[in-house]
Structure 1
Amino acid sequence: MPTFQNTTASSIIFLLTGVPGLEAFHTWISIPFCFLYATALSGNSLILFVIITQPSLHEPMYYFLSMLSTTDLGLSISTLATMLGIFWFNAREISFNACLSQMFFIKLFTVMESSVLLAMAYDRYVAISNPLRYATILTDSRIAQIGVTIVIRGTVMLTPMVALLKRLTFCSSRVLHHSYCFHPDVMKLSCTDTRINNAVGLTAMISTVGVDSVLILLSYILIIRTVLSIASPEERKKAFSTCISHIGAVAIFYIPLISLSFVHRFGKRAPPYVHTMIANTYLLIPPVMNPIIYSVKTKQIRKAVIKVFQSKEI
């Protein structure tokens, strides 16, 4: 295994890892991943297209959905090249600066997705608790401000975390254990004290994804309290039904994230390929499933998609 001493970060070429122990099957393993990428890219592009082209979807809920599809596209594109490059061509090398860039965008789109899910939770809360003022509270300009704030928040919180990696020197193996650049993975290869990096990284994730998850939970407690105060069972059912798609999106984002954390912490005896496969799929589950959930569970999206396909047939 190649090693080097006191190497400056800017001169490093890292080696990414496919699926340990299953290198002979990388071509076959690439098939389901190709299918997942194709589904994620086409599904989210279709959602964006129908929201942009259909005037009936020019409403706050669908503007936030378009933001979610944009972050899912970004998340998919961030890992596509390195992952399929490894499976198809055994292209494992990645420069330090390219690694930092990929790491930044993966983290940025992950934090942005969490922020968008929080904004969507707020949207559902306003729609259910104060429907008469819904249009005046969530105006187009306010939604645009929320979108810009989401991007700025992620950039400001994550830039120090990634930039601090440039101060490290590396004197151990240059082999990373994922098919993409993962922040803890890079730090493990350093022979420099990484306590500052760990603290900044942990602070960034707690103050973004951690805070968002708590606020989403709080918003649903308030939503449930509001819905239970509605006298009509039919109205209660209708109010809850508007949240089903969002609850599904929250679940498929946070459950894989939590599962990956548990596997890294408590699954040390599991074969290496288990860690790698979970790490590879956890970033693809939300981009693949979100368009499916919203197409199946949201009648307006489903009708708009059908209308688009019918217009292409004419």
Structure 2
Amino acid sequence: MDAINSSVALNITVVHPEFFFITGLTGIQYSRYYYIFLFCIYFIAVIGNSAVLLLIAVERSLHSPKYIGVFNLALADFCEANALIPNMMKTFLFDSNYISYNACLANMYFVFFFTTMQCSTLVVLAYDRFIAICLPLRYHAIATNTIMCLIFSAIWAFNAFMMALIVSLINRLSFCKSNVIQSFFCDHGPMYRMACNDNRINYYLAKLNMILYLIVPLILIVLSYICILFALTKVTTWEGRLKALKTCVTHLLLVASLFLPVTSIYIYALINSLSANARVISASLAYAVPPMLNPIIYVLNTAEIKDLIRKMIKKKSGPMNTKTVSLHQSTGVPVAEWPVPDSHKTLWRFLGFGNFYRRFSQVAVLLSALTSPKVPFRWNPQAQVAFDNLKSRFASAPVLCVPDSERQFIVEVDTSDVGVGAVLFQQMANDGKVHPAPTSPTGSALQNGTTISVTGSGGSTGSGGVVSLVGGVGAALLGLDGLFPAGTPVPTTPSSHAGRGPLGADSAYRQILPQALRSAAAV
């Protein structure tokens, strides 16, 4: 009974103020300009991180373990900036320093939650670099998309639990002396120090939070880079070492932008006491600047994103009409002026431009014979005629058509003594001719139920060789004799692409052609 009475007495003495007063910068005449500066940082951070999130979400080539980590970091940056700075603008620019008790706890939770996600994500990205450099042959087995998603799901859940625990234990504190928070948001440290009752649990949790999200991440990142440097000592050339280290530059810059300011503040606070204004300025910059810098670092130091942006700019500037894909005049001129090959290498470069497209293969027979390193390179009149003929065909327009998902697609397969080939075609309504359909993003997608006709051309049967699938599918070592009879329609079904959306032309190549070509090598 006494225990119950003491518990009731304790509950009666707990005081929760209706509002807290956040001081921010005090005694500084032009403090508003500092908050406007923080708002500019916020604006850049939101735009930059939104662009990174959208780019990674839309571009399938970036759906890799590394960029799952980058996506999570950009998401944490975006959310942390929105949880912190808009509330600061409302508080200090509009003289609304009072914040309700529950709103204060919510503000504390989200700011700390997304900040801890930034720290944890950098550890996972360090793990990704460690596997990529120290265990390169096992990288695709260890660092898969599924594993990375599971790791980040566990981190999000654990961090959400830890921050909920820390914030919820604020409710056990009694604020009977003051409701003034000496900070720029509802900071955990200044709040629990105002308590009139026992705050040891909150103190220990604050220290645990610092260990889990500052000291441990830094130790793990340092250890990962020690292992990376040790692995690089086994690389024989300095060029190889620098190339491997270059892949870590972006991550190191991210680590420096986040951990260096926070660590410096902690170390300085241990040596000298910080004034309230100095603490507000240093801490607010440490929270606000990394979300702004991170997307800039991605763009400037990540080759994949820079190449992707370049391609997008070129694609937008390139001429296109809705009927056919024609060669622009600026593209045709360099092809027509292609210099005469003077070595095996330059000839291979020219032939590679044609990608061994089957309609060019007969013309290229004489040129292909000159590419053998066992045969001395001797340019002759017959080769010149074939060279001029190929240049003319390369520059002829229109070459490709924009695929129409409502019309039938044709997979044309062929073998001969000089090569093998398989190309996706479509007959266009405007000219009645059959054109190859590109599988780049300019092409339309094949919808469910679209009919694909597999046709085989006659000719003597070769022993198999390199087949090139026009439109970016690439080359594969395949023979050719068609598994399906000529003209067999092959309807696409939802199960054929495992719920990944419309079956694109690339998917048609990958899923239908292997069946059509598998038996050819034995012929």
SS where residue 105 of structure 1 aligns? helix
Q: Point out which structure has higher relative CO (alpha carbons under 8 A, 6+ apart).
A: 1
- Structure-to-structure mapping, 1:83-162, within 5 angstroms: 83-162=88-167
In structure 1, stretches of 5+ residues that fail to align are 1-5
C-alpha distance after superposition, 1:270-291 (max 9, x if no partner) = 5532221112111012101111
SS where residue 181 of structure 2 aligns? coil
State whether structure 2 residue 242 is matched by structure 1 residue 237: yes
C-alpha distance after superposition, 1:43-73 (max 9, x if no partner) = 1111111111122212111111011101111
Task: Report the equivalent of 1:8.
Answer: 15
Deviation at 1:83, TM superposition (A): 1.0
- Structure-to-structure mapping, 1:1-314, within 5 angstroms: 8-9=15-16, 11-22=17-28, 24-268=29-273, 271-308=275-312
- CA 1:185–1:305 in structure 2 vs 1: closer, same or farther (change >3 Å)? farther
Output the aligned Cα RMSD: 2.0
C-alpha distance after superposition, 1:64-98 (max 9, x if no partner) = 10111011111101112221113320111111211
Residue 254 of structure 1 aligns with an amino acid whose one-letter code is F
Identify, as 1 or 2, the structure richer in strand: 2
SS where residue 283 of structure 1 aligns? helix
- CA 1:79–1:232 in structure 2 vs 1: closer, same or farther (change >3 Å)? same
SS where residue 284 of structure 1 aligns? helix
Deviation at 1:297, TM superposition (A): 1.0
Using the alignment, how far apart are the partners of 2:223 and 2:81 within structure 1?
29
SS where residue 94 of structure 1 aligns? strand
In structure 2, stretches of 5+ residues that fail to align are 1-12, 319-523
- CA 1:87–1:130 in structure 2 vs 1: closer, same or farther (change >3 Å)? same
Deviation at 1:190, TM superposition (A): 1.2
Using the alignment, how far apart are the partners of 1:177 and 1:142 within structure 2?
42
Residue 20 of structure 2 aligns with an amino acid whose one-letter code is F
C-alpha distance after superposition, 1:128-171 (max 9, x if no partner) = 11222212211121111011011112122222221111001112
- CA 1:144–1:192 in structure 2 vs 1: closer, same or farther (change >3 Å)? same
From the CA coordinates, give the structure whose radius of gyration is larger: 2
C-alpha distance after superposition, 1:176-196 (max 9, x if no partner) = 112211111101221111111
- 8 Å Cα contact 2:19-2:99 kept in structure 1: yes
TM-score (norm 1): 0.91
Using the alignment, how far apart are the partners of 1:172 and 1:52 within structure 2?
50
- 8 Å Cα contact 1:26-1:88 kept in structure 2: no
SS where residue 20 of structure 2 aligns? strand
- 8 Å Cα contact 2:132-2:139 kept in structure 1: yes
Percent identity reads 32
- 8 Å Cα contact 2:42-2:81 kept in structure 1: yes
